[in-house]
Every structure is written in C-alpha cells, then in structure tokens.
Structure 1
Amino acid sequence: MSYDIIKSVGRAPRIHQKGDPQQASGRTFFIDASHQNLTTIPSEILALEDLEEAHLENNQLEAIPQGIQRLKNARILYLNKNKLSELCPELGKLSSLEGLDLSHNPLLPSSLPVLSGLRALRELRLYHTRLADIPIAICKLLHHLELLGLTGNDLKSLPKEIVNQTKLREIYLKQNQFEVFPAELCVLYNLEIIDLDENKLTVIPEEIGSLTRLLKFYVACNSLPVLPESLGHCRKLSVLDLSHNRLHSIPHTLAELTGMTEIGLSGNHLEKVPRFICKWTSLHLLYLCNTGLRGLRRSFRRLVSLRFLDLSQNHLERCPSEIGALKNLEVLALEDNKIRQLPSDFGSLSKLKMLGLTGNQFLSFPEEILSLESLEKLYIGQDQGAKFTSLPEHISKLQSLKELYIENNHLEYLPTSLGSMPNLEILDCRHNRLKQLPDSICQAQDSGVVAWNNGPERIGEI
C-alpha cells in the first residue's frame, strides 16, 4: 500500500451541467461539450458570442477553426485531451481569455507563439504536450499569468525572460528533465507553489530563501543530497515533499517552519526523525516510509494533529508506544517492518479508519485491533515474515469495517461472525489454506466481493 501527498493543480468548472452543443442557443454563458467525440468545434458553439466558459476537452479535435475569434467574451476555454497540433492565429485574438487548457495535445512548438496575444491570460496549462522549450514571447508578453502548468514535458531549463512573470503564483514543472533548479524562479517573489517532482535535480540554490510567500514546495523523486539552510526563511511554507532523494539529514533551520502541515521524507536514509519535526504541532500528514527508522523519539507524541502517518518499510521491531498518543490518526501505515505485537493502548486510536500491517511478524491476530471502532480498512496479509492460523470469532466487533485483506497467511478456516458484519464489502483471503467459506459468508446479502482460493466471487452468489 502506498500513499501520495494529494496536490491540487486545477480548478473545477464554475457551473456543473451537461449541454448538447446542437441545442445551444440564445444568451448562453456556459457549455459543456466534452466527451462528445467531436472532430471539429460545431458552428453552433462558435455562434455563441456571449459564451464565457466552454468545455471541449476529451474529444477528437484536430484543428481550431478561424471562427473561434467570434467568442470574444470567452474567459475560460478547455481544449485538453484532443489531437491538436496547430493553433490558428485567431485563437490569439481572444482578448478576454483568462484560462486556457491545452494539455495532452501533440502541439507543434512553432504554433505556440500565438498564445502571446492572449494578454489577459491568468492560467495556462500545457501539461504533457512534448514541449522542449517555452517560447520567449509567452514569457515576455503575458504579464498577468498566475498559474503556469508545464508538467510532463521535456524541459531542461526555462527562458530567462520568465522573470517577467512577476504575478506568477503557481508553477508546475513535474516530470521534466531539469538537472539544475531554475534560478530565475527565485526572483518571482509572489510564487506560492512550486512543483519540481520527478526531475533530475542535484541542488537547490540558497536563493530559494527569497521566496517568502512560498506555501507548497514539491521536489520529490530527484537526486538531492542536501538542502539549503535558507529554505528555513520560507516561513509560510506549509507543505514540503522531499521524498525519494538522497538526503541523510535535514537542516536545523527548517525548525522555523512552524506552520508545516504536510511533509514527505520517504525514501531518504535519515535513520531518525529530525528532532525539530516533533515541535510542528500543526502537522497532519507525515511520510516516513523507507527511512531506516528503528524507533520514534519520545517527543513524537506531541504531534497530536497527525491524521496520516506512514512508517512502512522500516526496521521497527515493535509498534512505537508514542503512536498511542496520536488520537487524531485516521491512516496508519506500518507495513513491511518486524513488528510482533501492538501496544496495549493501541485501541485508543478511536478515529483510525485505515491500518496497514502487512508484512510483519505477527504469530497471531493482534486483538488490540478489535477496539478500533472507526476502522474501515485493515491490511494484515503476511506476504513476508511470520504467518498466523486463525482469526478471532469476535472480529465482528469491527462493525465499521468495509475492507479486510488477510491474504498470504495460514488460515484454515474463517470465523462465521464475518457474515454478520454489515459494512463488509471486500474480504481478501487468497493464498491461505482454506478449503471452503463459512455458510454465513456465502449467504451474506451484501453485494461485496470475497477473494479466496478459488478466485474472487460476489458475496451472496457463491
């Protein structure tokens, strides 16, 4: 089981409705013609001169007709996930356009300068468009950009003219080919979000400390061996993802980031939780998967706001007792450690909804789990390590449980009480020693799925 920090890079449509483009008429301000297999933009849409927001994504459009210039009041235009390679000059005449999404199109670089005519543009998304360069004209002439989305391209650098984007608040550069952090970004003082995940960065410049309005900084899956101490000057930083780099320590200057709510450190060989992190009492997501941990600091119990904690793939031989103090935990991942038992106060985690224990050393089912009244998902397959042979009959105490994964154990039978659990939807007991399922499970009225030795079946149809 793996978890990713959730990052929002877009905004939902202002109005949610579905319209038939053939029936659009009158003073129409919004239209959704997405997923219609359109090969061209219907003339009926181009005739809607009052149109402000148009959704044409997920179609088969190969070209934008000259008539697009008739949409002089258009403010938001979604053309993503089509087959556009060329952009007609008339697109650049939409003087009111504030938001444009051209993502997932095979755009030719030669057609991109057309966009420099969209002087009112605030949000431009060019995700996954195979770009190797950004036209200088865009950086020079679009002075109102607040969001620039360039994820999933072949960029190695940004033009120096990007410094003209003084209003830029969000820039998304994930999944590109950057080996050097774009130093030009360090003078864009209004930046709030920088996403450089999945590049080839080896260093972040000290000048990053100039970005005092930075809120979210993503540099996961790079090759960073160290961090600049100046990062601690970004006092408003609340989300920081450093996962899967080559870090062995975190600068003590980051202790100044007292507003941190989410931090990802997975995949770095830290061996210990940095002491100052235990002072971040507003932290609610903490990723420490595969960091070489053998235990937690006693001060870890101060993190009372934590809702999500990933300690999987470490060297824990016991479940840290400090976890019992984290009363707001909703998700706890402890997979692939060496844990043999849970602490006696484990059941006090009254808000826990998801628990991952797969790949540990349990010789019997840990009954401390049975007090987790809010638990909805339990993963306790033993794909490596020890096996256990039975489940307690009173597992039915877990009345909120929706999904139970107990594969790869040595279970010879299942308790009949599983059939009386009202919310159970998925029961995965594959790769055990079961010869049959209890009648109580076979007769369950739920529409859930049970996966066992003979393959997945629908409960009630076995």
Structure 2
Amino acid sequence: MMTTMMMKVDYSKSRRKHFGNPHIRLPSSSSSSSSQNTMVAEKTDMQEVVDLSAMSLETLPISSNFNLAIIRVLDISNNNLQVIPESLAARLLNMVALDVHSNQLKTLPNSIGCMSKLKSLNVSGNHLQSLPKTIENCRALEDLNANFNQLTTLPDTIGFELINLKKLSVNSNKLIFLPTSTGHLTNLRHLDVRLNRLRSLPDDLESLINLEILNVSQNFQYLETLPYSVGLLISLVELDVSYNKIAALPESIGCLKKIRKLSVEGNPMVSPPPEVVEKGVQAIKEYMSEKMSGANEIFPKKRSWIGKLKKYGTFNGIRSTPEREGFLMPSYRTIDGFASSPRHISMFSPRRLFSPKRDFTR
C-alpha cells in the first residue's frame, strides 16, 4: 500500500521568510506501517530541519525533483535503512547536521565528502566496518559520533584533514589502533575510544593541546601501556584508563597540571602502588612527579626531556628559554599562528624543543 507523506513547515517564529508551499507532497516507498506517515520540517531563518526519524523506513521517500540543497539538518535515525544513495548524499550540499543513528547501514556513501558544511555527524548504532576516506573532505566537521559499530580502522589521514574536529566518539567498536595522524587534531577536546581492542595509543599526542577528556577504558586485556606523551596533554581534565591491562602509568602523569579526574581501577597496577591510588588523583600526581625527579637524579647526564620540561617551567605556564640548549632562533620574531598550524605544530612540540642541538640542521 502506497502512503502519502507531508512536509510541514513551522512558521511560528517571527520574521521568517516565506518558504514556498508549506505543504509539499513527496512520494513514499513501502514500509512496514500502512498508516499515514508525516515528515516534519521546522523552518528557521537560516535552516530547514527535516525529521524522518522512527518511521520504520527501509528507503528514503524523497522525490528526485525535490530541492535537497535547502536541507541543513536531517534526522533519519531509528529506521531500517540499509543504504543511503550516493545521488542523495551528493545533493545535500548545505547540510550542517546529519543523524543516521540506529539503522542497518553497512557503509556510508562516498559522496558524503560533498557535504563541505557538515558540522555534526551521528552514525552510531549501525554495522559500519569502516568510514569512507572521502569523509576527510568534511573539513567543517566538529562532532563525529560513530559509537556502537564494527569499525576496525579509521582513515589514515583523518587527523590531517578534519582539523576542526572537537569531539571524536568511536567507543564500542573493534579498533586495534588509532591512526598516527590522530595526534594532529589540535582542536580536539573530547576523545572517547573505550570498549575497543586497542593495543596502544599513538606516541605523539602532545599536539592535542585542547584535549580535555580522554577515555581509553575497557580495552581489557589489549591495552598494556600508555605513551609518555599523555603527560603532555596540557589541557587534560579527565583521564579514564580503567579496566585495561596497564601495570604502570607513565611518569609524565605528574606533569598534568589541570587533571581533576583520573580513573585507573581494574588494572594490575604496580606503579603507582594501590595505597597511593586509594588516596586520589593528587597523590598519584605527586608520586609520579617524585618518581620522575628521582630518575633524573640517578641519571643526571641522561635527564629525559620530561625532566627538562619541569625544570624550565613548561607546565606551569612559564615559557623560559634554556641557555645554550634546545632550539635557538637566529633572531627574535613572532611565530604566532605558524606554531599553531596543524602542519607545523610538531616543530614546536616539547619533544623537539628540548632535544639536543645535533638533532637540528642549519
């Protein structure tokens, strides 16, 4: 039985521009429900919101002559969709938010890369094994939610392209590792990779200067260590590494000045010992800091670059310049903007700034 869908436009707010015919008839496809379905669109000054959620749809009932470029927010979640047509995604040129969570999708269309204005993408609760490489063309993307899928990998260069990404949620997948380019997501504030199969994290995380929340919990028997660079996440407020196989935290944890919540339960923790862990985050920081300082005293000629960071006050906001060490500029000049560029930020990472002079060529 064929049903008729109606788009309703809400003109309840003042100073709205007239938007054609408020009732637009769209041909529908067959669905499990024989009752009349309604497609609701709320018109605002600058966007068209189309809601097709929870309608038991198996295909999208959108006419070929319907102007999809007017849609900026589309919710097609909680349906039975197995595919999003390439031709459909290619016409959603002004899309800002797309929600397709809780469907039966195994792939996303490659034409998703045409959505150059997309800021929020929710594809959680599907059967995705990978994300299309073309998603890297969605450079305006700020929030990517791919939880509860079957992802085994992320695009290799995702960190070089999605430079505006602020939140990346890929929990409850089958990820074994994160691409090394993840360390270039300089605007990232929230990274959730719990409930995966992670063996390790990328070594160079220090460029994630805005990261506030990092959750790598519940990778169970797979995750055994954390990289030293975790201690260089200068904006980190919450770190959850619970229920892994981590025996020792990196000593650099003592340098996390802003950390307020540190969850380590469910690990075979030896360093710090259980009696320190029980006292809370401040006790853990002090223990790791003292351990790091002790290591520097034992090996004074081989002080780690972490030790130098502490000595020169890098973690308390002071940017003093060590004499005759590190990276010396030939003359004073501003590097604002240049240093914050994702392309060059690794040049100014603490790891490089405090390396011996021989590591640099003139």
TM above 0.5: yes
Aligned to 2:202: 251
- Distance in 2 between residues matched to 1:291 and 1:243, nearest whole Å: 10
Deviation string for 1:422-453 (max 9, x for gaps)? xxxxxxxxxxxxxxxxxxxxxxxxxxxxxxxx
- Distance in 2 between residues matched to 1:85 and 1:95, nearest whole Å: 29
* 8 Å Cα contact 2:230/2:252 also seen in 1: no
**By how many angstroms is 1:325 displaced?**
7.7
For residue 152 of structure 1, the aligned residue among 94, 98, 102 is 102
Unaligned runs of 5+ in 1: 1-45, 54-67, 73-82, 328-341, 347-462
- Distance in 2 between residues matched to 1:51 and 1:277, nearest whole Å: 50
Q: CA 1:308 to 1:85, structure 2 compared with 1: closer, same or farther past 3 Å?
A: farther
* 8 Å Cα contact 2:42/2:48 also seen in 1: no
- Distance in 2 between residues matched to 1:264 and 1:115, nearest whole Å: 45
Aligned to 2:80: 130
For residue 173 of structure 1, the aligned residue among 110, 123, 131 is 123
Aligned to 2:174: 223
- Distance in 2 between residues matched to 1:298 and 1:163, nearest whole Å: 42
- Distance in 2 between residues matched to 1:301 and 1:159, nearest whole Å: 45
**By how many angstroms is 1:148 displaced?**
0.4
**By how many angstroms is 1:260 displaced?**
1.0
Q: Give the letter for the 1:249 counterpart.
A: S
**By how many angstroms is 1:261 displaced?**
0.7
**By how many angstroms is 1:235 displaced?**
1.8
State the identity %: 25
SS in 2 for 1:315: coil
Q: Give the letter for the 2:154 counterpart.
A: I
Q: CA 1:71 to 1:278, structure 2 compared with 1: closer, same or farther past 3 Å?
A: same
**By how many angstroms is 1:229 displaced?**
1.3
- Tell me, yes or no, if structure 1 residue 261 matches structure 2 residue 212: yes
Q: Give the letter for the 2:261 counterpart.
A: F
**By how many angstroms is 1:299 displaced?**
2.9
- Larger Cα Rg: Structure 1 or Structure 2? 1
1:370-449 matches, cutoff 5 A? none
Aligned to 1:319: 274
Deviation string for 1:74-106 (max 9, x for gaps)? xxxxxxxxx897667x97897975223332221
SS in 1 for 2:89: helix
Q: CA 1:92 to 1:220, structure 2 compared with 1: closer, same or farther past 3 Å?
A: closer
Unaligned runs of 5+ in 2: 1-7, 15-19, 25-32, 288-362
**By how many angstroms is 1:257 displaced?**
1.2
* 8 Å Cα contact 1:49/1:71 also seen in 2: no
For residue 288 of structure 1, the aligned residue among 219, 223, 241 is 241
Deviation string for 1:136-168 (max 9, x for gaps)? 443232221111011111111122222221111
* 8 Å Cα contact 1:87/1:114 also seen in 2: no
* 8 Å Cα contact 1:145/1:165 also seen in 2: yes
Deviation string for 1:21-74 (max 9, x for gaps)? xxxxxxxxxxxxxxxxxxxxxxxxx8x984249xxxxxxxxxxxxxx95479xx
* 8 Å Cα contact 1:143/1:164 also seen in 2: yes
For residue 212 of structure 1, the aligned residue among 135, 139, 163 is 163
1:23-422 matches, cutoff 5 A? 50-52=11-13, 69-70=21-22, 98-113=48-63, 116-208=66-158, 209-268=160-219, 269-316=222-269, 318-319=273-274, 321=276, 326=281
- Distance in 1 between residues matched to 2:42 and 2:66, nearest whole Å: 10
SS in 2 for 1:296: coil
* 8 Å Cα contact 2:51/2:76 also seen in 1: yes
* 8 Å Cα contact 2:200/2:226 also seen in 1: no
SS in 2 for 1:122: strand
Figure out how many residues of one structure are paired with residues of the other and give that number: 261
Q: CA 1:243 to 1:50, structure 2 compared with 1: closer, same or farther past 3 Å?
A: closer
Two-structure CA RMSD over aligned residues (Å) = 3.6
Q: TM-score, normalised by structure 1?
A: 0.50
